[in-house]
Chain A
């Protein structure tokens, strides 16, 4: 595979929240790269830090949280800028947000205000990032709505968000996110709140748009099958750590980390019939305030090595073929 140029490089990112209960290490030392046009899936169970990773990239971490470590380099036209160093309400990040990097959320209602039409909101985004007149912006908005498969875009553009069905709202939100042709789209659980037939529509749409517009994609989800359908690479997170990362076809065929293996064995697979055996991971994700010492997965791990896994944090091991894993079962060649 010929590699396209590097677009975003996240290096040793840590984002923590501070409260009376203590410090919550929501993201704790995560690294990954995205090349132009590439699709990365970030998977893991609820609370593992997927959304906070996205919030950190866009610099929209809630007030009680803070990026405490790491770099997030965005490369444009041969130059790079460290997003962590930008003023969080400054002009520069506001141009990047919705411009170079756009985001869609699980709940489309959160992306739209209820008191303006979707057309007003999309044209406002376009005019914030592009130099054009009101009517040019409206034409572009209609074009984008058509592009995402919205029925009768000339009429729908004047609809209020609450008047649209779930699937149409999802499309409107994607149209808004894509209206300025971002180089990177971050989709946080884009189909978790929609039905399976609508999910199929949205996944197909994202695949087409990504191919046609050559944009890079970060898909955040707890559903490995969604990632398998959309992504080139996968990063698995557990309790704020990136525990395994590999090309999609490799990780599903040959997962290395005991957590990834467990996750894959936990989901009943369509087509496997009534008699398939699930092999659930024991226990549950611990409270983030009581993160286990050593490998955070050790209390649930079937391959746990006493006096090693519960003491030492496993280092990142690079295996062949762009596959890396944080686990004491593996050694660097």
Chain B
């Protein structure tokens, strides 16, 4: 099983400009649509039925995603972060309508300004909208069909949509896509097994970009890769964003990656958004106790230069079971700041920035304004 040689990515020499424009202040999701939002998700829900026994009796519901609202502005990266099972993938799949949401709306705005509610489309309508959306998955080993050549894999969207008919034209386009992900175009006759994990992920990215999408959902695109290769793919995604003016919904559990890549971040806990706002301000000063604990939990390399880190917050217990969500605040069984009210009353997602003119910062906690929480050290600004 020969591995193809990697081509250097050239990332060392490319200077990076910050992707897109920083989002202007706007209302979250519901209500005020803004012309530069690619996506507006409002009250999205996905409940999976729990079926038991021989008759597949409906005994309950997994609230995988519950009342999730957010927007993604053109050219920005919104990260969805949270622990395993919190509903990140389900949110991403509902947005693409790869699965049917149980409720809510997903408004997609094309480059020409046309607005489409993805949740109400018929199948053929959906297919034509999906052209404008790309998807990159975690596992580059299972996401590529082993029986097809790279040419067939990347060329497939053009062929099935009858966008290109001539062989030469197709090869030309695929070669161009391979070059854009820094792969040698002569690789197009090879099969996926001849490539390393990082190269396969490049092929998957080339396919996701084939139809020139505005909007890309990337679900843990580097988690399955070796450490040294993760950095290559992260740099590539950042470069492609500024070259092609892409908008990313970036799903990850890795907070360092969130900080490196995203303009804004949405922290999820058991199917809900608990904090949403600009990445730099949330990392510097989180306002939700769960965000604080997540940031504190990340192990860091001690180089000795900044002195030893402060005491780590260790949360007790495990993430709540989404089929048996705790009453009140879903985080209350693990929260170090829990009060009586938290056990009974569910906090709402509230914008703390409010009328004071700063960037929106949404938090779902009764004590968001009182608590003085710790962010990561030496966050810039």
> Which chain A residues have a beta carbon within 8 Å of chain B's beta carbons?
21, 45-46, 151, 165-168, 195-201, 203-204, 222-226, 228-229, 248-249, 252-253, 262-287, 290
Cβ–Cβ contact A264 & B301, under 8 A: yes
Residues from chain A with Cβ under 8 Å of B304 in the complex: 249, 252-253
Beyond A201-B315, A262-B228, A284-B197, whether A270 also contacts B303 by CB under 8 A is no
Beyond A228-B300, A262-B228, whether A284 also contacts B255 by CB under 8 A is no
Docked pose: A166 CA to B318 CA in angstroms: 8
Q: Which residue in A151, A275, A283 is a CB contact (below 8 Å) of B18?
A: A275
Beyond A196-B253, A197-B83, A252-B303, whether A273 also contacts B314 by CB under 8 A is no
B264 to chain A, nearest CB (A): 11
Cβ–Cβ contact B380 & A267, under 8 A: no
Cβ–Cβ contact B199 & A282, under 8 A: no
Cβ–Cβ contact A196 & B380, under 8 A: no
Residues from chain B with Cβ under 8 Å of A279 in the complex: 11-12, 231
Residues from chain A with Cβ under 8 Å of B303 in the complex: 252-253
A231 to chain B, nearest CB (A): 11
Majority SS of interface residues in chain B? Answer: loop
Chain A CB within 8 A of B379 CB: yes
Cβ–Cβ contact A271 & B1, under 8 A: no
Name B298's closest neighbour in chain A (CB-CB): A270
Q: Which of B44-52, B100-108, B289-297 contacts A (4 or more CB under 8 A)?
A: B289-297
Docked pose: A203 CA to B296 CA in angstroms: 13
Residues from chain A with Cβ under 8 Å of B300 in the complex: 225, 228-229, 269-271
Cβ–Cβ contact B231 & A273, under 8 A: no
Beyond A268-B257, A269-B256, whether A284 also contacts B18 by CB under 8 A is no
Residues from chain A with Cβ under 8 Å of B234 in the complex: 268, 278
Cβ–Cβ contact B226 & A278, under 8 A: no
Residue from A45, A199, A267 whose CB has the most chain B CB atoms within 10 Å: A267
Q: Which residue in B8, B226, B295 is a CB contact (below 8 Å) of A270?
A: B295
Cβ–Cβ contact A273 & B380, under 8 A: yes
In the complex, which residues 271-314 of chain B have their Cβ closer than 8 Å to any Cβ of chain A?
279-280, 283, 293-305, 312-314
Chain A CB within 8 A of B6 CB: yes
The 5 closest A-B pairs by CB, nearest first: A280-B231, A268-B260, A266-B231, A225-B299, A200-B297
| Complex interface bits, B339-358 against A, C-beta within 8 A gives 1, otherwise 0 | 00000000000000000000
